[in-house]
A = this chain, B = another copy of it.
Amino acid sequence: MENQGQLAQYIPELAKIDPDKLGIAFLSNENETFGVGDWQTRFSIQSISKVLSLSLAYNLLGENIWERVGVEPSGNAFNSLVQLETDNGIPRNPFINGGAMVICDMLVSHLKKPKSDFLEYVREISSCKEVNFSVATAKSEELVGFRNKALCNFIKSYGNIKNDPDEVLDFYFHMCSIEMSCLELTKTFRFLAFSNFKTFNGDKVLSLSQAKRLNALMQTCGFYDESGEYSFKVGLPGKSGVGGGIIALHPEKYGIAVWSPKLNQKGNSYKGMKFLELFTTETQLSIF
């Protein structure tokens, strides 16, 4: 596999990562795990975290959340403001930045201690008690986050952010700064991969129908404006982050996480995409 792509440059903390890191973890429906390379090294999961905040909001608020955010692919770059202007402040889906901010705004309204309550939730579903924010990454992103600040204030101007934009952004940047290893990622996403998954307390995170819907959303919107290409070549629900991580799921069969920090032009892990394409083509284990 060629060694193309480049590190996310716009978040200073991410630009410092060793570009040659590569990890792959596999988790079967029998709870068997396999891994190669840096599969137990933590990295910044970034946008992958948007699935986690969304799932918590979905758990807490049910179908009401779809009144404030759509479920359609955006067809534009992930930080575009254009569509918001046409759509009166309703972001196209919860995985573009604006949509994730609206979800964060819901959690800020609903949780008592938003940041620590969210962290608690992630630790609960992942069974990984040491998972944490990287405050350095959150701060690093906040310092250069003028585009995100613009986005949040823009949505606020349409009334679709209820709290103070600065507070929402603080939650948003922390949420995106969560660090996990590939192994931890596969464990975290069991609640979407396996319908018999229950937390330590014996609770289901989402109903079967809700889980299927989140999987469908990842399929159509999980890879920014490369979601079609990803569906086309990989054929599994998944989500990527600019930290170079990707999680992909074959419902009821397996979960797979890849980490390689160099990104292609669309902001997705160059090697991660290539690997998953090869994997599903060779194994013929896609959902299609």
Binding site for B on A (CB under 8 A): 70-76, 80-83, 85, 92-93, 146-147, 149-154, 156-157, 165, 208-209, 211-213, 215-217, 219-221, 225-229, 231-233, 235, 237, 251, 281, 284, 286-288
Contacts and interface: CB of A to CB of B under 8 A. Distances in A.
A228 B231 CA distance: 13
Nearest to A92: B75
B235 A216 contact: yes
18 contacts: A81-B81, A147-B153, A149-B153, A150-B153, A150-B154, A150-B157, A153-B153, A212-B235, A212-B286, A213-B288, A215-B235, A216-B231, A216-B286, A216-B288, A217-B228, A219-B220, A251-B288, A287-B288
Given A219-B220, A225-B72, A153 B157 contact: no
Contact of A73 (B165, B220, B281, B288): B220
Given A215-B288, A217-B228, A288-B287, A209 B281 contact: yes
Contacts of A73: 72-73, 75, 220, 227-228
Contacts of A151: 150
A179 to B, nearest CB: 25
For A70, A157, A287, A288, the residue with the greatest tally of chain B CB atoms inside 10 Å of its CB is A288
A74 B75 contact: yes
Instruction: State how many copies of this chain the complex holds.
Output: 4
A89 to B, nearest CB: 10
A82 B81 CA distance: 7
B146 A157 contact: yes
A279 to B, nearest CB: 13
Contact of A232 (B92, B152, B153, B213): B213
A3 to B, nearest CB: 24
A146 B150 contact: no
Contacts of A92: 75
A160 to B, nearest CB: 11
Contacts of A165: 146, 149
B75 A228 contact: no
A162 B85 CA distance: 26
A153 to B, nearest CB: 4
Top 4 nearest A-B pairs (CB, nearest first) are A75-B75, A72-B228, A73-B73, A150-B154
Contact of A228 (B93, B156, B288): B93
Nearest to A72: B228
Contacts of A281: 209
A286 B226 CA distance: 23
A213 B231 CA distance: 8
